[in-house]
Structure 1
Amino acid sequence: MSYQVLARKWRPQFFKDMVGQEHVMRALINALDNQRLHHAYLFTGTRGVGKTTIARILAKCLNCEQGITSEPCGECNSCQEITQGRFVDLIEVDAASRTKVEDTREILDNVQYAPTRGRYKVYLIDEVHMLSNSSFNALLKTLEEPPEHVKFLLATTDPQKLPATILSRCLQFSLKNMTPERIVSYLKTILGQENIPADEAGLWLLGRAAEGSMRDALSLTDQAISYGQGHIKELDVASMLGTVDRGRVFQLAIALAEADAASALELVGQMAEHAVDFNNLLADLIYLIHRIAIAQAVPDAVDNSQGDKEQVLTLAQAMSPAMVQLMYQVALTGKRDLPLAPEPRSGMEMTLLRMINFAPVGQQAEAQSPSGVPQVKKPDLAHLKRQIVNTASETSVPLVPINHSESTDSLKDLSETTAIQANEPAALQNAPSDDATSAPVEEITASLGTPVDEPQSAQSSSPSPNEVDVPWDTSDEPHIPPEIVSPEIPLDAPALQQVTTPDVIPVAEQQTAVIPEKPVQIIQPEPAPVVTATTEDTAQIEQAAVKEQQAQDKITELKAMALSSNSWPLIFEAIPVEGMLRNLVANTCLMAVNGDTLIFHSDAGHMRLFGESHQKRFAELLNTALDQRYQVQVIEGDIQYETPAQRIQRLQQERLQQAIDSIEQDPNVQALRQSFNAQVIMDSITPVD
């Protein structure tokens, strides 16, 4: 017997065998049980979600010899013939290959004849949107009033191409895409009955690769079984689909959490050697960042279906919420711009470097929770990295732990070389000295008349280039070429820190200095142009100063006011609160002042966002502004007094009304109305500050 693919072998034959599409099955089952049958049904949805399957089950329900029922017997001749695809009264039409109006007329010519075997003659037209306009027009009248023994079942993946006249004559059902969770659950059931071992992680790769299509998932499962020789393993599925091993994605996330650009680029290089699809890599990284964001917001919502919940939670603690959101947005933008890059690898590397370079300052130093409170225990990313590497050691393409010993040494040599080139004193000090051309440092400094301390040790006399502190600013001094510096004087960096140039050098001491062969040409900087302030500039400066002084006086006056329910909207302007917290505080009203305790009310909508950290920050800003020590409590309750937001809105309405009245009373506007019958566009009036 020839092999039958899983998509055909496990095609549901009854409504109870269907997975998903409960909203469609509920309507059809109730219609069948109550004998409320429509003459035309239209099933829409993407490929592989069950359009043709539901249509065949419905045809079986209509023609079962046991009667019209939502649960056909499946054993009578009609049910058997429909299952085997040879029922004479079920006419399946492929509209993609029969688009001409002549084909439609041939179908309509046979509509008038009674069914041969079954109760109804069922026309199943698949991909109905491929019919021509003439075919649709020929079908309209029959579709609107078909004979009682005819039922039309239409299926399409593109309902937008159907004329409105066709849509209005059909009972339309929109089928939804399958979720990866539902696909994985169904694959477990099928593979369990087929006695095929499978890794759950591999099934999740298949479920996500199917993109909502159950038929695609079953086809990919067939391919994975053949690829793995009867077994479904995560590595085999990843290799078959061209996706990236999850261990590599976690290593990449760890490198981003540590802001380790070298590790991230090395990982990209390793994956490029295996011809990885960087578009899929970015998609996997976005999926992981999404799970990390969920772990930071609601840790209990992270599923452990792939056995990596602990790793996701560890990464969630290692990154700040701002960093996670930034990474998600940068990854989305990078995935969109990846086709525009010269090559996918460079686009991937630039995306990772953006994540690291634009990271919030200090986010790796101290991981924070979503509320802004520092975590008590810093996560051990090194342990997580070892765990991922050990887990991936069984893979067909082993994960090589990143070794930075050689790269670190090379980077160190490069940094020292750069520092030597940028700092001539350190270079001259470290260079080998010649007895014939060099003199001890003590003799040179003694000739200059400046005492120096003897070096304590060889290490202390050779500080690193980063520790040299030049005691003067050399930004404005002319550049002196290195060839005019005498090689006879090795300048010592510690000595430079202690040398103080005297105001007047004696003549005898001046003679000991080495005169360069080429005179140093000192370029005098051009004098900066003198900018004279005009009268207009002076007036603007004075006006800005007056406004600033008025604002300061207003704030001082507001702070001096007694805090009460009526004065709270005014005092709010003196509190330096910004961002989301400003919006939350502006929608509160002061209900009571009980000694040092302030009780504020907020409505339910804003109270859901008013967390404990917001209340603490609000109390700090309020006490700092008013120089008090109030205990602030914000609770949900009725708004009985005017809030700062309501006051701002009221003042804006008053100013707008004043502007409208001013326009209405303006004599020029009135003259225009009388002369030209002009009208004022009220929406264009804006009050001027």
Structure 2
Amino acid sequence: MYQVLARKYRPRNFNELVGQNHVSRALTSALDRGRLHHAYLFTGTRGVGKTTIARILAKCLNCETGITSTPCEVCATCKSVNEGRFIDLIEIDAASRTKVEDTRELLDNVPYAPTQGRFKVYLIDEVHMLSTHSFNALLKTLEEPPEHVKFLFATTDPQKLPITVISRCLQFTLRPLAVDEITEHLSSILSKEEIGVDQDAVWQIAESAQGSLRDALSLTDQAIAYGQGEIRHQDVKDMLGLIDRTIIYDLILSIHQNQRQRVSELLMQFRQQALDVSMVLDQLISTLHELALLQYLPELSLKYSAEINRKITHLSQVISAQDLQLYYQVACKGRADLQLAVTQEQGFEMCVLRLLAFRPLSVNELPVSRTVSSVSDNVPVQTDSAPQSALSQTLETPPAELPVQIQVAPDEPVHEASSENENNDVQPEQKQVADQSQQSSAEQENDQIVFDPNHGEVLFGDDLIAESVETATVAAADISDTDELNLFDPVESSTESVMPQNMNEPSPQQDVQQQEHPSVTDESALPAIQATEIPMAVQEAVIAETADKLMPQQILEIPSQDMSGEWDAKKWEYWFRNSSLSPAVQELAQHGVMTGQIDGSCVFHIPQQYEKLLHQLQYALEEALKQQWSATVFSVQYGEVNEITPFTMQNERKQKAFNRAEEMLHQEPVIKELIQAFDARLENIELK
């Protein structure tokens, strides 16, 4: 009679056991040393070897050669255990014997000596199914059983066991088997059975088993029957109803490359095949997870077949890590919302459309909206890959064709499209686009222009505010040589001294530049601004000038300082607020000012009222300074501090941030409507 693979190839000793090395090692050592416990608890998911290990242990305890970790397999006891007829191995299904009467009947036979073997072994499977009264009846016997009795418990849900039972047992947690372990074991069994098999099919069965070796062997039996004595990859996919991974890879690549036609074809294919979209989405999320692992932790990624490994490696090289994280987050959110949609198909397709809609902009890609498309054909932008007329046509493209890629040559000048604009007043829309084009030269490192039409801002560099640089860039609108131009000079960058009242009249600075550079005309190129060349003091001045446009949290930020040269209040505050000093020391340090040389002789000036506190905390402050600058010679001077202290600077920042927050709050449309409708006013505004 045919015997299923799961029973035919059940391990009969610890050497044949697949995986679970941590369990077999502990039990083998205990058997060899004679350190045997009276109760063992084996936990883990289905099909990982709980009952099998319990039977092996019972055989080791009763083998006629003695207590050993390697039973002989030839004595009457070993044969009886293998055939399931050993009288002193009492196997009980707790799911069918849950009543306390069943437990009491079982315990009535415990005092009697074993009939045939050395120990009487009680193997209780699914022990968590016992009732509370059954556990209570078992406790006393379980704690102090007779010497000839061993209890072996197996369960898939140890959380349901009373802690009093768990504390009386040695607990071993069996882990799910890895795909590689199952694949290797299946290949060995199929080789013994002389079954023709595809390696990809074996791997697919091992992955579908989800860590259960018994499930894998059952699926193998089913695949042999389905394939009429052979196991083929396509047959396994058809049998399990699996989705071809190639389709998932094509879908991810099409979404990343914004190939809408290909995405539409794949969605239509899903509809025609009536696939389970929840399974498709699960496979999509799993693939994104594998791609992320392959990029950062390749040793943790699954070992696929050669064909799948090649494709997934290609995908991991094409898609950036940031994009993968975004795709994974959107897909997981779509998986959670799948049950809220009218139909699962609708929820899945909306998730795919969301992946397309929130696709990150690639390098040199410009989002174009109706605001930009309304600009006339005389936009002063010129590309190195298309003439001016082609660009004008591109800017008029309706939103359905967005986004549009525009390559801007960093070294070529940008000219106006028509010479007639020289004699006419500059229209506001044209001036806006010209200013945006001038600011874009600050992105010379990657030549990327990102325009926000809703706010009229150009984002570039280290997130400098567009308005803060606009003043400096407008002054250089007609200058092409940036090597001899200091755009951020405090005097030359002011709009009063640079910009003439009439836009068509050259400024004095422009005349000087045209004399020095005869080749420069009124249509000269925009200068390339390197944000990294801006002096620290000038950056602070620009930020202070545009403080009315900053967010409150930006106002509260402490500007970075160059920690060299002499101490001043700004350097002192920047250092101690970013140091590892305790809050108490920092609280004291903000009331004083440091003078002298950094990494040299320095004096800390602080009012006399803080002398007692500083006397206790001076050592910590001095040690922190010397740890960073070993040549520091630190001293303290008590007296009146006439300079601005960090405490005063912090309060000024807080006040400015509060004023800015209050201003922004009053500008909110909802607040305006409430104030206007109810003649209301805001009170007790707090900035946290």
TM-score when normalising by structure 1 = 0.56
Conserved 8 A contact 1:565-1:641: no
Task: Give the equivalent residue in structure 2 for 1:155.
Answer: 154
CA–CA separation in structure 2 for the residues paired with 1:547 and 1:254: 39
Task: Give the equivalent residue in structure 2 for 1:64.
Answer: 63
Task: Give the equivalent residue in structure 2 for 1:18.
Answer: 17
CA 559–164 in structure 1, closer or farther in 2 if over 3 Å, else same: closer
Q: Please give the secondary structure, in 2, of the residue aligned with 1:72.
A: coil
Task: Give the equivalent residue in structure 1 for 2:222.
Answer: 223
CA displacement at 1:252 relative to structure 2: 1.2
CA–CA separation in structure 2 for the residues paired with 1:186 and 1:150: 35
CA–CA separation in structure 2 for the residues paired with 1:468 and 1:10: 70
1:58 alignment partner AA: L
Task: Give the equivalent residue in structure 2 for 1:351.
Answer: 351
Task: Give the equivalent residue in structure 2 for 1:116.
Answer: 115
CA 642–196 in structure 1, closer or farther in 2 if over 3 Å, else same: farther
Deviations 1:68-88 (A, max 9, x none): 000000111000010000111
CA 109–565 in structure 1, closer or farther in 2 if over 3 Å, else same: farther
Task: Give the equivalent residue in structure 1 for 2:493.
Answer: none
CA displacement at 1:300 relative to structure 2: 7.6
1:95 counterpart = 2:110: no
Task: Give the equivalent residue in structure 2 for 1:387.
Answer: none
CA displacement at 1:226 relative to structure 2: 1.3
* Correspondence list, 1:567-586, <5 A: none
Which range moved further: 196-205 or 23-32?
196-205
CA–CA separation in structure 2 for the residues paired with 1:560 and 1:19: 61
Task: Give the equivalent residue in structure 2 for 1:494.
Answer: none
CA 302–50 in structure 1, closer or farther in 2 if over 3 Å, else same: closer
Deviations 1:417-455 (A, max 9, x none): xx9xx99xxxxxxxxxxxxxxxxxxxxxxxxxxxxxxxx
1:562 pairs, out of 560, 565, 572, with 565
Conserved 8 A contact 1:125-1:153: yes
Conserved 8 A contact 1:268-1:345: no
1:343 alignment partner AA: T
CA–CA separation in structure 1 for the residues paired with 2:576 and 2:274: 60
Conserved 8 A contact 1:243-1:277: no
* Correspondence list, 1:369-448, <5 A: none
CA 25–272 in structure 1, closer or farther in 2 if over 3 Å, else same: same
CA 132–294 in structure 1, closer or farther in 2 if over 3 Å, else same: closer
Task: Give the equivalent residue in structure 1 for 2:539.
Answer: none
Task: Give the equivalent residue in structure 1 for 2:608.
Answer: none
1:354 alignment partner AA: R
CA–CA separation in structure 1 for the residues paired with 2:303 and 2:545: 66
Task: Give the equivalent residue in structure 2 for 1:318.
Answer: 318
Task: Give the equivalent residue in structure 2 for 1:332.
Answer: 332
Task: Give the equivalent residue in structure 1 for 2:84.
Answer: 85
CA–CA separation in structure 1 for the residues paired with 2:231 and 2:39: 43
Task: Give the equivalent residue in structure 2 for 1:243.
Answer: 242
CA–CA separation in structure 2 for the residues paired with 1:8 and 1:82: 14
CA 295–168 in structure 1, closer or farther in 2 if over 3 Å, else same: closer
1:640 counterpart = 2:643: no
Conserved 8 A contact 2:562-2:571: no
CA–CA separation in structure 2 for the residues paired with 1:60 and 1:24: 16
CA–CA separation in structure 1 for the residues paired with 2:77 and 2:577: 83
Q: Number of matched residues? A: 435
Conserved 8 A contact 2:43-2:157: yes
CA displacement at 1:340 relative to structure 2: 2.4
Deviations 1:516-564 (A, max 9, x none): xxxxxxxxxxxxxxxxxxxxxxxxx99976999xx99x99995797389
TM-score when normalising by structure 2 = 0.56
Conserved 8 A contact 1:200-1:305: no
Q: Please give the secondary structure, in 1, of the residue aligned with 2:30.
A: helix
Task: Give the equivalent residue in structure 1 for 2:361.
Answer: 361
Q: Please give the secondary structure, in 1, of the residue aligned with 2:565.
A: coil
Q: Which runs of 5+ in 2 are unaligned?
A: 375-388, 398-419, 425-543, 579-596, 600-624, 631-645, 652-685
Task: Give the equivalent residue in structure 2 for 1:164.
Answer: 163
Conserved 8 A contact 1:49-1:213: yes
Conserved 8 A contact 1:104-1:135: yes
2:9 alignment partner AA: W
Tell me the C-alpha RMSD between the 2 structures.
4.6
Conserved 8 A contact 2:563-2:571: no
CA displacement at 1:593 relative to structure 2: 12
Which range moved further: 126-135 or 188-197?
188-197
Which range moved further: 299-308 or 93-102?
299-308
CA 33–355 in structure 1, closer or farther in 2 if over 3 Å, else same: same
CA–CA separation in structure 1 for the residues paired with 2:94 and 2:560: 80
CA 188–561 in structure 1, closer or farther in 2 if over 3 Å, else same: same
Deviations 1:165-217 (A, max 9, x none): 21121111111111222211211121121112222222222222212211111
Task: Give the equivalent residue in structure 2 for 1:342.
Answer: 342
Conserved 8 A contact 1:45-1:176: yes
2:198 alignment partner AA: D
Q: Which runs of 5+ in 1 are unaligned?
A: 367-418, 424-461, 471-496, 502-540, 576-591, 595-637, 644-653, 660-686
CA–CA separation in structure 1 for the residues paired with 2:550 and 2:290: 50
Overall identity of the aligned pairs, in %: 49
CA displacement at 1:313 relative to structure 2: 2.5
1:331 alignment partner AA: A
CA 347–567 in structure 1, closer or farther in 2 if over 3 Å, else same: same
Which range moved further: 162-171 or 271-280?
271-280
CA–CA separation in structure 1 for the residues paired with 2:364 and 2:545: 46
CA–CA separation in structure 1 for the residues paired with 2:250 and 2:151: 55
Task: Give the equivalent residue in structure 2 for 1:138.
Answer: 137
Q: Please give the secondary structure, in 1, of the residue aligned with 2:197.
A: coil
CA–CA separation in structure 2 for the residues paired with 1:363 and 1:77: 76
* Correspondence list, 1:410-489, <5 A: 466=393
CA–CA separation in structure 1 for the residues paired with 2:78 and 2:549: 92
Task: Give the equivalent residue in structure 2 for 1:445.
Answer: none
CA–CA separation in structure 2 for the residues paired with 1:468 and 1:30: 77
Task: Give the equivalent residue in structure 2 for 1:188.
Answer: 187
